Amino acid sequence: MPMHYTICPICKVAPDSKGFCGCEPPFSLSAIPQEKIDGIARTIYPRILAYFEVPENKANFEIWLEERNAKKAAMVATTT
């Protein structure tokens, strides 16, 4: 997923039109054993589901998502 910075805080380069600066990720997910990934998922997934069962949390997420999408759209509009 591209980051949306004016200048990348890591490599100090402006991102291209797709939002990528060319930095390599600091690690590869393929280096993490699958059983560790599965363990993390089994731990957090039920908590994520429980969080979104609360109507207020779901509403707050929807508000945040709308704000995020509006910011993304504004960034795209200013770069094109």
**51: containing domain:** 31-79
Q: Is the dihedral of CA 23, 26, 27, 29 positive or negative?
A: negative
Per residue in 11-58, pLDDT (tens digit) is 777 777 777 776 766 556 677 899 999 999 999 999 999 999 999 999
Residue 24 belongs to some domain of the structure: no
Specify if 45 maps to a domain: yes
DSSP notation for 6-74: SS-TTT-----TTS---PPPSS-GGGS-HHHHHHHHHHHHHHHHHHHHSHHHHHHHHHHHHHHHHHHHH
Residue 64 resides in a domain: yes
In this prediction, residue 2 carries a pLDDT of 47
* Residue 60 included in any domain: yes
Q: How many domains does the chain have?
A: 1
Does 71 map to a domain?
yes
Quick check: pTM over 0.75?
no
21 falls within a domain: no
